Amino acid sequence: MERRVLQKGARIRVLVVDDSVVIRRLVTHALSEDPQIEVVGAAADGTIALSMIPQVAPAVVTLDIEMPVMDGLETLRRIRRDHPHLCTIMFSTLTQRGAAATMDALALGANDYATKAANVGSLDRSLASLRTELVPKIKQFFVWQDGVPSSATVASAPPAAPARAERPRTSPGLQKRQIVAIGVSTGGPIALSTVLATLPAGFPVPIVIVQHMPPVFTRLLAERLNAQCPLAVEEAAEGMQLAPGKVVIGRGDYHMQLRRKGLQIEVHLDQSPPENSCRPAVDVLFRSVADVYGGGVVAAVLTGMGQDGLRGVEVLKTQGAYVIAQDEASSVVWGMPGLVATAGLADAVIPLDTIAGAIIKQVN
């Protein structure tokens, strides 16, 4: 999905939809502080929102899930039917019910989601949370006509990788593949479903995944993928052992690393500081995969905002790993895979629906 181009000086028009007066005011206030965003309206339920869309012509709708009259999921269905190109970001609570509904919304075509506390805390904390999470997620879909992306999507210089002896790159064709490692963010649930559903039962190596999601969400994602795919999919747990054909998804708010214990490879979870503002972080996983498997890795960086995974791919490439980056046309956001591709680190830059085939070819 290409980012929408706005004229120089134009602002992103946002319609805020939430049944809570307090939340509507908070979101409106937080978004209005940003000079690149204009809140063009607010609605208390889906019916009102649908009637306002033709009037205020938003580029983005922030859509609460639980509302009276017409809830967020039904509103999303109507938006996708009547305004298929309108960017929609769901706004849900960090609860089991909120996470399940968010998964449903992503399956229905929501572009992304942001989370809010179950209970509104202090004004300052609530505004800070909205600025740091919701604002970048709105901006990630846009670029200005002068070619300058929004401030939220400009990639800063990657942090220095941990010190290690520099080794020349090894040809990916000389390595036996022992594991598949995947990093993904915005658009991840659909992308993972597309890839994993195409892999055959009896897949000969383990698969480890970092998807940027909070707690509860990663468990529900694993459960849904397990029901959709021929492979066994589980959320990571401390000490879990890898096995051929087993898919392990990193747990929200915990970094996931791999460690060798005797003849087994085990999962280790920790809450060390976030990297690239993420926990779990793809870079953390990729570095540990390189430590355990060397170059015997197929690494795939799929759709997502930001640069997480870039440094980890650099480490993997020095050891001969084979790296796949999802192409721009099939990505919801071409941030993570785009940086890997433009850095010349990808052995293949390919559409989402061909990635499973490329993985199978490398593993076999």
Whole-Å CA distances, 253 to 52, 81, 215, 273, 303: 37, 35, 6, 10, 20
Which letter does DSSP use for residue 155 in this model?
P
308 catalytic? Reply is yes
Element (H, E) at 260: strand 255-261
Give the integer Cα–Cα distance in Å for 2 and 49: 26
Query: What's the start-to-end Cα distance of the chain, in Å?
Result: 31
Q: Is 330 among the catalytic positions?
A: no
Nearest Cα neighbor of 99 from 213, 184, 202, 9 is 213
CA atoms of 245 and 155, how far apart (whole Å): 35
Q: From CA 193, how far away is CA 302, in angstroms rounded?
A: 12
Token digits of residue 57: 């012509």
| Given the residues 185, 288, 330, 331, the one annotated as active site | 185
Query: In terms of Cα–Cα distance, which of 332, 339, 329, 331 is closest to 308?
Result: 339
Q: Which of 45, 64, 112, 308 is catalytic?
A: 308
Out of 64, 212, 327, 331, which one is annotated catalytic?
212
Task: Confirm whether 185 is a catalytic residue.
Answer: yes
Place of tokens 């028009």: 13
Cα-Cα-Cα-Cα dihedral of 80, 81, 84, 87, to 10°? -30
Residue 254 region, left (φ>0) first, then alpha (ψ -120 to 50), else beta?
A: beta
Helix (H) or strand (E) holding 341: helix 336-342
Q: How far apart are CA 27 and CA 23, in angstroms?
A: 6
Going by their DSSP bridges, the two strands 255-261 and 264-270 should be labelled as: antiparallel
If you ran DSSP here, which 8-state letter would residue 326 be given?
Answer: E
Burial of 147 (0-12, 13-18, 19+ CB in 10 A): exposed
- The three-state (H, E, C) secondary structure of 304-316, written as one string: ECCCCCHHHHHHH
* Contact (Cβ atoms closer than 8 angstroms) between residue 287 and residue 318: no
Residues marked active site are found at 185, 212, 308
